[in-house]
């Protein structure tokens, strides 16, 4: 009888560990997809900063904006309001992301996915 209880406890522990590893794997896959996703006009600067794990103020500066974390406008609207093509703004943001990654490779800055 006691052996059966230990077997049940071990089975529950194994199922819990498997579940936690599955959750971790799915979250990591989502993170990797977002980090390599091309920039789109519907994305906001805070969204891009979070998904690419770089400081938002660097992206605001590249977009020619003050570092206001409450600015949630999509980059397509920002480009229209600045009177420039959205592809140009996306290019500047991508250059900033690449430069930041060259200076701070993933995992060194302490970012946790």
Do both 63 and 90 map to the same domain? Answer: yes
What total of structural domains would you count in the chain? 2
Are residue 62 and residue 27 in the same domain, yes or no?
no
Decide if pLDDT at 5 tops 60.
yes
Question: 26-56 b/e with 16+ CB inside 10 Å = b?
Answer: eeeeeeeeeeeeebeeebbbbbbbebbbbeb
Please indicate, yes or no, whether residues 76 and 94 belong to a single structural domain of this protein: yes
Rounded Cα–Cα distance for residues 8 and 64 (Å) = 61
Q: For the residues 22-46, what does the mean pLDDT come to?
A: 82
Q: Average pLDDT, stretch 30-54?
A: 83
pLDDT tens digits for range 57-86: 999 999 999 887 788 999 999 999 999 999
Same domain (yes/no): 4, 51: no
Domain that holds residue 4: 1-36
More confident residue, 37 or 53: 53
- Using pLDDT thresholds of 50, 70 and 90, give the confidence band for residue 13: very high
User: Bigger pLDDT: 26 or 28?
Assistant: 26
């Amino acid at each position: 009888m006691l052996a059966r209880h230990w077997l049940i406890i071990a089975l529950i522990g194994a199922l819990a560990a498997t579940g936690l590893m599955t959750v971790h794997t799915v979250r990591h896959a989502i993170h990797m997809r977002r980090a390599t996703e091309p920039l789109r006009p519907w994305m906001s600067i805070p969204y891009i900063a979070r998904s690419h794990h770089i400081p938002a103020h660097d992206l605001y500066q590249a977009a020619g904006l003050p570092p206001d974390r409450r600015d949630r406008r999509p980059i397509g609207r920002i480009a229209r309001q600045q009177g420039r093509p959205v592809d140009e703004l996306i290019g500047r943001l991508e250059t900033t992301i690449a430069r930041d990654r060259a200076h701070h490779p993933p995992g060194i800055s302490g970012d946790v996915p």
